[in-house]
Amino acid sequence: MSNNTQITVSHNDGGRLRYGFAGRAAIVLKTMWRRGEGKFTLIVLALWLVVALISLIWTPQSLWATDGYHVWAKPSASHWLGTDGTGADVFSWLMAGSRTNLLIVVLTVAFSALWGLLLVSAMVARASALASASVVVIDALISIPTVLLALILAVPLGASITVIVIACGFGYGLNLARVARPSALLAARSSYVESALANGASGWRILVSHIIPNIVPVLAVQLSLSAGTAVLAESGLTYLGIGVPSGMPSWGHSLATSVKLINVFPLTVLWPGLVVTVVVVALNIFGDVLRDAIDPVTNPALRQTAASAEKEDER
C-alpha cells in the first residue's frame, strides 16, 4: 500500500477523513485501473478527452480543405484514414467530431441524471402524490420512443444538439427513475433513514446525504449506459437528419456521409463505425467498473486508505 502515503489528508468532517475530492477520485481510479476492462475503459475515455482537447487547436488537415482529385482516397501519409466523398480528411473530421459527441454525452447524462433524480425523489417522498401513481405514469412515458420524441422536437428546433439532448435525456431519465426506484425506496424506508430522521434531519438532507449516496451504484451503471446509448443515438438521429446539423463535425455525421457508399468504399465507413463501437463499449464497461470501485463496501482500498491515512494524520 505504498500508494496510500501519497494521499494527503486535509480535514476531518465529523470524524470523517476527507481526502478531498481529488484524493478519493485517485483511489477510485487506481482501483479501476487494476482491472483489465478498467484499463481498457480508462484508456479509451482518456484518449477521447485528449483528442477532443487537441482538436480545439489542431487537426492534421483543415476540416474544410477539400480535394476534388482525391475523393474516397485510401489511407496515406497526408490523409491518415483517407478522405471522404468531398475529399476532406476523415481523421480530422473524426477528431473534431469527438468534441461534439463529448458535449452531447455530458449534456445528456447531466440532463437525465437531474430529471431522473427529480422523479426518484418525488417517488420516494413520504407525502408525494406521485408516490403511488408513479410506476404507471413512468411506464406509460417510457413507451414514447426516443426517435419519435426527437422528430417532434425537431419541428420547432430543427436539427440541433438540443434535440438529441432533450429527447435522449428525457427517455434515459425515465429509465433511471424506474431502475433506481426500488433501491431508493429501500433506502428511504431503511433504519438508517429512520435514525437520521430521529436525529432531526430534514427531508432534503435525507435525500441528498442518505438516499442518493446509497443508490450511487445503480446511478453509475445506469448513467454510463445512458452515455453509451447517447453516442449511438447521436449517430442514428444525425443519419435521419434530425441530430447534429450538417456542417458540424460528429461521429454520426462522418458515418452518415460515408454509409451510403459502403459497398464501394467500405474502408471509409469503417473508421467512424469503429470509433463509435469502441467508445460505446468503453462507456458501458465504465459504469460497471466504477460501481465496484466507488463503493466502500466492495472496494477495500477505500477503507484501507482511510485507516492508513488516519495513522498518517496522527503522526
The count of residues interacting with other proteins (CB under 8 A) is: 35
| Closer residue to other proteins (CB): 100 or 134 | 134
Q: Is 182 in the site for other proteins (CB under 8 A)?
A: no
Which of 11, 57, 68, 204 touches other proteins by CB under 8 A? Answer: 11
Q: Least CB distance from residue 192 to other proteins, whole Å?
A: 4
- CA nearest neighbour of 28 among 290, 307, 309: 290
Nearest to 32 by CA among 308, 292, 213: 292
∠ CA 303-304-306, rounded to 5°: 65
C-alpha neighbours within 13 Å on the C-beta side of residue 156: 3
DSSP code at position 13: E
Radius of gyration of the chain measured on its C-alpha atoms: 23
132 forms part of the interface with other proteins (CB under 8 A): no
Cα dihedral 101, 102, 107, 113 sign = positive
Give how far the C-alpha of residue 275 lies from the chain's centroid of Cα atoms, to the nearest Å.
16
According to the binding rule CB under 8 A, does residue 61 interact with other proteins? no
21 is an interface residue for other proteins by CB under 8 A: no
195 forms part of the interface with other proteins (CB under 8 A): yes
Grid coordinates standing for 93? Answer: 473530421
**β-sheet bridge partners, residue 276:** none
- What minimum distance in Å lies between the beta carbon of 185 and other proteins? 15
Instruction: Give the x/- contact pattern for other proteins in 273-312, rule: CB under 8 A.
Output: ----------------------xxx-----x--xx-xxx-
Helix (H) or strand (E) holding 17: strand 16-18
Q: What are phi and psi of 143, to 5 degrees?
A: -70, -10
Range 230-249, binding other proteins (CB under 8 A): none
Give me the least distance between CB of 215 and other proteins, in Å please.
10
* Binds other proteins (CB under 8 A): choice among 106, 194, 246, 274: 194
Q: Considering the rule CB under 8 A, would residue 190 count as an interface residue with other proteins?
A: yes
Q: How far is the CB of 209 from other proteins (least distance, A)?
A: 8
Can you tell me the distance from the alpha carbon of 199 to that of 25, in angstroms, rounded to the nearest whole number?
30
State the nearest-atom distance from the C-beta of 314 to other proteins, in Å.
9
- Binding footprint of other proteins on the chain (CB under 8 A): 11-17, 126-127, 190-192, 194-202, 205, 210, 213-214, 216, 295-297, 303, 306-307, 309-311
